[in-house]
Each structure stands twice: as C-alpha cells, then as structure tokens.
Amino acid sequence: MHQGYDENNIIQKLTAFISKPLLVIAVLVIALIMLPFMLKLNGRETRTDEKAINAAAEKDTATYWKAADINTITDTILKAQVVYGKELITHTAKYFGPNGSVSKTSNGLNCQNCHLQAGTAIFGNNYGSVASLYPKYRARSGTVENLYKRINDCFERSLNGKAIDTLNKEMQAIAAYINFVGSNVAKGKKAEGSGLKELAWLDRAADPKKGLLVFTTKCKSCHQANGEGVFATDKTEYTYPALWGKSSFNDGAGLYRISSIAKYVKCNMPQGTTYQSSQLTDEEAWDVAAFICTQKRPHLNAPNDWPDISKKPVDHPFGPYADKFTEEQHKYGPFKPIVTAQKK
C-alpha cells in the first residue's frame, strides 16, 4: 500500500509538472496568434481617434466667421471704395501717421496692428460682428454709438491721434470695408470667432516681474528691449509696432485693459501663433500683459468716460469704482473676488 501510494503520488506530481509548462506554452501560442490582430485593431482605434479629433477640429473651424470676399463685389465703385478701405486698415500710418500723405494725425501704428489680417483673423480682434451690432450702446460713453464714432475712438485712443472727418473719403472707405467684410452676419447676431477669445481669470494677481521674463524670451526680438518696436525703413509705418512709449496706444484705449492684452497675445503672439496653437500658457499671457501695462505710455484725458461707474469692466485700471476693491487689484487682479462681488 505504501509503495502504491508513492507511485500514485509520483504520477500526480509528474502530471502537474508537465501540465503547467504545457498550459504556459498554450497561452503563449494563443497570444502570438492574436498579437497581429490586436495590433491591427489598436491601429484602427488610434486612426479612428485621430479622425474623430480632426473631424471635430474641422467642424469647430467651419462654424467660425469668414470675411466676405471682396472679389465677389460687382459694383466697381463700391469695390474700389472697399479695396481702399482695406488699404487704409492695413497701412493706416502711411496715410495718417507722422509722415502721412493725407494728414499727420496719428502715432504711426496701423489699424491692422490690433485688428490682425485687416480685421479678418479669427480671435484676432476682427471685425466680424461690427456691421451686425452697430449702432449699439456702449457703457464707456453712456451713449448709442455708430460705426463712425467707433472708428474715431480707435484714432483717438489706439492710434493716439485725432478724430477724422466722418464725411471724408478715407472715413467712408474704412466704414465701407468694415461693413462689407461683416455683411454675411445677420443683423443683431454675433459672428462666431469674432473679437477676442475668452481667457480664464487667474487665481492670483498677474505678475509684471514674471511678465518681463516672458517678454524677454518671447517678444523682445521683434518689439525690442525698450518695447518701442521697429519702424520701417521708409519711415512711414512700423514693421513691429510699439507696445509702449510715445508711439504706442494711450491709456484710454481698450487694449490698455490687462484682460484685452492677455486674450490678444494668447491667441496671436508671438508670430506664428493662432487660436488653435498657442505658444503661451494662460499664466504667461496674463503676466506679460501685466508687464506691458506697467510701462509708460501717452495719457488720454477722458473725464466723460464711464458716466455709470458700476458699468466699468472688472479690470478697468482707473477709479473711482462702485465697489471697495483697490485700483491696484482692478488693474492686476486677482479678479475672481471682484467678479463674485459684482454678481451679488
């Protein structure tokens, strides 16, 4: 009995010893057989994911406004006027700058320096919604403004110059161009991708010192260390615009608000940036905007701005305010507490 028991025990152990390697081998064989199919399936899934992402991006882009095509204008007189308007937007300083051929009434910047691609770039501060929304009430003036008033605001603030006659050929051409490029947007509607893309508020105040580092590494090569840009060799306009100094926008311009600059650079700067491929993080955009806003620039005396101070944007840099937050916080943040307080 003892010998039989030992024999049975040996047989059981031997069977177990042999079956385990066989099981392992079987699993490996099955895995090797299935591997090509698994890789193929994974490749299909990856390609499917990529197609889905690309399709979503194309769909997203397709919903954005596209400027009306000037080449579709059949009226030769209107077309010539619109073409001239585009020229004025693109090369404003050649006509109105320090050496302008029409008048010497502005600082040498072009409208296109703020309104990229002659006001047609998606989230490039474009004109997509101007024709559809003007005339409109603006809290800054406390009045209903027409397009001519809006254009002259840019001349007086962003171009730090003088308003131009609303009846002259140049004003009529600029207005005709802006109205035409946005003529494919229904009245009262806002074009998708118009203006500037929203940017989340920081949880902290924007930091000019950190912004200096961003400016040095990302902006200085074009706008120069002193921020005063590069004037073209013909001395009629800027190749790279001044970000501060006597030839930049004054402190009454909408771009002087830190959120405006942050949104602008996030989707458009440095060169080569688009709303689809930002080169700056959100924090870098806010910080470099803070740095730019600390620099000296022309002052605009505008005592009639914001007749209702409760309508001032949260980041309007000048008091008085309808709340108890400081001018410093209104200029640099953090803005979330101000936003929360305004909602109460």
DSSP state string for 64-83? S--PPPGGG---HHHHHHHH
CB 283 within 8 Å of CB 293:
no
Core vs surface per residue 140-177: b (16+ CB within 10 A) or e: beeeebebbbbbbbbbbbbbbbeebeeeeebbbbbbbb
Tokens for 337? 């507490």
From the options 1.10.760.10, 3.40.50.720, 3.10.520.10, 1.10.10.10, give the CATH code of 208-343.
1.10.760.10
Residue in this structure with the two tokens 């013909």, named with its chain if needed: 234
What is the pLDDT averaged over residues 270-291?
97
Read off φ and ψ for residue 312, nearest 5 degrees: -65, 140
The model's confidence at residue 47, banded by pLDDT at 50, 70 and 90, is: very low
Q: Which helix (H) or strand (E) holds 240?
A: strand 238-240
User: Which pLDDT does position 218 carry in this prediction?
Assistant: 97
Name the band, by pLDDT with cuts 50, 70 and 90, for residue 301.
very high
Residue 254 clears pLDDT 70, i.e. is over it:
yes
pTM of the model: 0.83
pLDDT at site 41: 46
Residue type at position 19: S
Q: What is the pLDDT of residue 344?
A: 85
Mean pLDDT of 309-338: 98
CATH superfamily of 71-181: Cytochrome c-like domain (1.10.760.10)
pLDDT above 90 for 23? no
Give the residue with greater pLDDT, 177 vs 48: 177
Residue 195 backbone dihedrals phi, psi, to 5 degrees:
65, -130
Average pLDDT of the chain to the nearest whole number: 89
Q: How far is CA 87 from the centre of its chain?
A: 23
**What pLDDT was estimated at residue 60?**
59
Structure tokens at 213: 């580092």
Provide the token pair at 83.
Answer: 């073409």
Residue 70's alpha-carbon distances to 80, 82, 86, 176, 314, in angstroms, are 10, 8, 10, 11, 38
When mean pLDDT is compared over 2-16, 28-42, 315-329, the highest value belongs to 315-329
Q: What is the mean pLDDT of residues 296-319?
A: 98
Amino acid at 237: E
Residue 122 has pLDDT above 50, yes or no: yes
